[in-house]
Amino acid sequence: MKYDVKDMKLAEKGKLRIEWAGAQMPVLNLIKNRFLKEKPLKGLKIAACLHVTTETANLMKTLKAGGAEVVICASNPLSTQDDVASSLVKHDGISTFAIKGEDHKTYYGHIMSALAVKPVITMDDGADLVSTIHTKKKELIDDIIGGTEETTTGVIRLKSMAEKGVLAYPIVAVNDAQTKHFFDNRYGTGQSTIDGIIRATNLLLAGSTMVVVGYGWCGRGVAMRAKGMGANVIVTEIDPLKAIEAAMDGFQVMTMSEALKHGQIFVTLTGDIHVIRKEHFLKMKDGAVVCNSGHFNVEIDIPSLQKMSRKRRMIREFTEEYTLPSGKRVYLLGEGRLINLAAAEGHPASVMDMSFANQALSAEYLVSNAAKLEKQVYSVPKH
């Protein structure tokens, strides 16, 4: 079995943490027990590109219980839990390619290693498997039954491929299930983002001013939980309906240029590019903390922050200090990667239970409906 993980000596710790998470995943466990008997995925090769966490490990075990041959690689260079990766190899016999902190080349090398098994189902969080297959591994397409997609950003990418007529196999958009985004995106991101900010900085949220950039399901969750911790929450949002919703939910709503005058902590959750950029850094208060909880590390314009800064140093793990030409300091958390998985452990198991139950059932759905499905993005059937 091929694999690339940080340290096999971490496997015992990983096994216990996977067990702990599994105890909070009753829905996935029900599916696993049925899969063990019915083997709906028998003999099928599944490549997963997901955050390698204790919760994901329980999903991988479920797919394996269903008879699948599973390989997994990381869906973000900074989200892997190294103990989990080694436990998947040692205790579950699952080929794993994931190392926390891996560089760009290793990240894409790991995706290629996962695709080397020639999967017939892909399971993505951010659509990197699908996009790599469509650009560099087109020869796999004919044998692929379909894929699943976990997150908002991935679904946006895939729907745009489908609209342009270039999507080459069917996808089930797990994120679109109400039992996913109502809960995972809102309560999961809400709690784990606050957790990541606190673990990275140990700042007191009570009495602080937090700017939540974007009021989609994730932004709603973070704003709600920050308020619960006593922060004064400001929301910036370009969609007028969501902006009104934020106002009626009791938050101050303003433009970014206005929010800059007040904010101490900024969190981006938009799925968009450079929503915090050069002109914004220049106007921030001294000591402002900036982080992202969206899928890709593009929401904050880090290259321009690096370029304009006269000094840069790591002041704590996951907290980097940038000194601007004026002498003001800006603190960037977790390299602008999703802070909930970079500095904390991602969403808690009981909410991932619902998301990953959708993943397991969607894989089964792809297999039993393969003949009927077109090269489109499908919702998870309600039943």
Q: Which residues bind ligand ADE (CB under 6 A)?
A: 50-51, 53, 55-56, 188, 192, 341, 346-347, 352
148 close to 359: Cβ distance less than 8 angstroms: yes
Q: How far is the CB of 211 from ligand ADE (least distance, A)?
A: 22
Alpha-carbon gap, residue 306 to 330, rounded angstroms: 11
Alpha-carbon gap, residue 25 to 370, rounded angstroms: 28
70 close to 46: Cβ distance less than 8 angstroms: yes
If the CB atoms of residues 79 and 264 are measured against ligand ADE, the closer one turns out to be 79
Cross-strand partners of 193: none
* CB burial string 131-163: b at 16+ within 10 A, e below: bbbbeebeebeeebbbbbbbbbbbbbbbbebbe
If the CB atoms of residues 119 and 196 are measured against ligand ADE, the closer one turns out to be 196
Q: How far is the CB of 192 from ligand ADE (least distance, A)?
A: 6
If the CB atoms of residues 332 and 344 are measured against ligand ADE, the closer one turns out to be 344
If the CB atoms of residues 186 and 280 are measured against ligand ADE, the closer one turns out to be 186
379 close to 174: Cβ distance less than 8 angstroms: no
Alpha-carbon gap, residue 40 to 37, rounded angstroms: 9
If the CB atoms of residues 18 and 41 are measured against ligand ADE, the closer one turns out to be 18
Q: How far is the CB of 61 from ligand ADE (least distance, A)?
A: 14
The torsion angle over the Cα atoms of residues 91, 51, 191 and 349, rounded to 10 degrees, is -30
Q: How far is the CB of 74 from ligand ADE (least distance, A)?
A: 11
If the CB atoms of residues 213 and 339 are measured against ligand ADE, the closer one turns out to be 339
Minimal CB distance to ligand ADE: which residue? Answer: 346
